[in-house]
Amino acid sequence: MTAATKVLDVAGVSKRFGSVEVLSDVSFQVDKSETVCVLGPSGSGKSTLLRCINWLEQPDAGQIYLNGSRVGINPGGAVMSDRDLSQIRTRIGMVFQHFALWPHLTVLQNLMEAPMQVQRRPKGEVRDEALALLAKVGLADKRDAFPARLSGGQKQRVGIARALAMRPDLLLFDEPTSALDPELVGEVLVVMRDLAREGMTMVIVTHEMGFAREAATRVLFLDRGRVVETAAPDKFFADPDTDRARQFLQRYAGEPAGGRR
C-alpha cells in the first residue's frame, strides 16, 4: 500500500503509568477500509493504546499520524493546543465500553451534539444524517428516548451511530461488547460487521474471538504492552507464531465463537 492510503500510523509509541510500562514501542499501521482487531489478555495495554491514538492519554514516546498528519504534536514540536487537538479528534470516532452517552440528551441529540457544536455543521443536514444513522442501527423509533431508558445493546448501537455522525476517517472501539449481557452482544456485532463490510476503517479492541476471526482484515496481538504478533485472522487463529498467542487462544478455545462476554 502507498503512504497515501494509510489512515493511521502508530510508530514506536510507549506509555508508562508511574513505574509500570503499559505500552512499549508499539508500531502498526492501518490502511483505508481495514478492520484491525486488537487482542490480548487484560492488562496488556489494549485500551491505553486506543486512548493514545486520539490523545486521551498522552504517549511518552513515539508518533501517531492520522492521514499523514501528526496527532498531538505541532510541526514545531510543541504539544498541540486543545483547539488543534479537537480538530483532529473530530476525525476519529470512538465507541466506549460503557457507552458513555450523554445522559441529559435524547438519542437524536446525542448524535447531533458534536457535529453541531464542535464541527459547526448546519442543523438540517446534521439532523437528516443522524436520523439516517439511527435507522441504520435499527433505532429510528428511539430517537426521542433518553439513554437511561435503553438496553445495553441499544445504548451501544447509539454509541456507534454517534461516532459515525462525526463522519470520522477512523473509528476506535474500546471493548464495545464487554459490558453487555450475552444475549445483547449479537445486535452490536451485527452493526460492526456491516461497517466492516462497507469499508469503514476501524481499530477494535475486543474479546470477541468469533467476530475478530470473521470480520478482521488483520489481528494485532498485544501482551504486556508489546505487539507480539500481527497476522491475518485465519493465520492467527489457526496457527499463531508465538507460544504466548497460542496460550491466549487456548483459554478461549472452549467457548463458542462470538459467545464470550
Interacting residue ranges for another protein, rule: CB under 8 A: 54, 56, 82-83, 85-87, 89-90, 92, 94, 96-104, 113-114, 117-119, 146-149, 162, 166
Q: Which residue number, 205 or 227, has a Cβ lying nearer to another protein?
A: 205
Q: Which residue number, 56 or 140, has a Cβ lying nearer to another protein?
A: 56
d(CA 50, CA 48): 5
Q: Which residue number, 203 or 227, has a Cβ lying nearer to another protein?
A: 203
Q: Which residue number, 191 or 228, has a Cβ lying nearer to another protein?
A: 191
Q: Which residue number, 40 or 147, has a Cβ lying nearer to another protein?
A: 147
Q: Which residue number, 170 or 220, has a Cβ lying nearer to another protein?
A: 170
CB of 82 to another protein, least distance (A): 4
CB of 54 to another protein, least distance (A): 6
Helix (H) or strand (E) holding 62: strand 61-66
CB of 249 to another protein, least distance (A): 30
CB of 97 to another protein, least distance (A): 8
Put the strands of the sheet holding 170-174 in their side by side order. 92-95, 170-174, 202-205, 35-39, 218-223, 226-231
d(CA 66, CA 68): 5
Q: Which residue number, 123 or 246, has a Cβ lying nearer to another protein?
A: 123
d(CA 3, CA 157): 32
Inter-CA distances, 197 with 91, 192, 193, 202, Å: 20, 9, 6, 11
CB of 31 to another protein, least distance (A): 23
d(CA 153, CA 176): 10
Nearest to 108 by CA among 128, 94, 92, 93: 128
CB of 235 to another protein, least distance (A): 32
d(CA 222, CA 43): 10
Nearest to 243 by CA among 260, 225, 229: 229
What is the per-residue burial (b if ≥16 Cβ within 10 Å, else e) of 21-58? Answer: bbbbebebbbebebbbbbbbbeebbbbbbbbbbbbebe
d(CA 67, CA 70): 8
CB of 114 to another protein, least distance (A): 4
